[in-house]
Amino acid sequence: MHEVSLAGGILQVVEQTRARDPFERVTHLRLQAGALAGVELSALRFALESLAPGTLLDGALIDIDEQPGTAWCMLCSRSVPIFTRLDLCPLCEGAQLQPTGGTDLKVVDMRVV
């Protein structure tokens, strides 16, 4: 379950932000996870909630928005929506797709006190 290490990395981002711009704690954390990022959202939420006590995330509301995946189809030369890396092109049913979006996990914003 690599979501535990992802949660640790997210906490590091929060701590680095605090080092640059001091605050007491995070009240609301908003993340964006792409459909092709290989992240199980419920496992990430569980890992963050398990990690939170005693940290800057203690008591924070955590929102995780899933972004759709997109890919460039090399056969029909179009950008198409996909849901997994194994999907075929919905237009031509070709398998030559290059993911172009929905592949990352990022901290979008946070509210702090």
Q: CATH code at 37?
A: 3.30.2320.80
What pLDDT sits at residue 19? 97
What pLDDT sits at residue 44? 98
What pLDDT sits at residue 1? 63
List the chain residues with pLDDT less than 50: none
Q: What is the torsion angle, in degrees rounded to the nearest 10, for the CA atoms of residue 82, residue 78, residue 33 and residue 42?
A: 0
pTM comes to 0.88
Q: How far apart are CA 94 and CA 29, in angstroms?
A: 39
What pLDDT sits at residue 103? 97
- Structurally, how many domains does the chain consist of? 1
Q: How far is CA 29 from CA 18, 24, 35, 100, in A?
A: 13, 14, 19, 26
What pLDDT sits at residue 27? 98
Instruction: Provide the residue range defining the domain that includes 92.
Output: 3-112
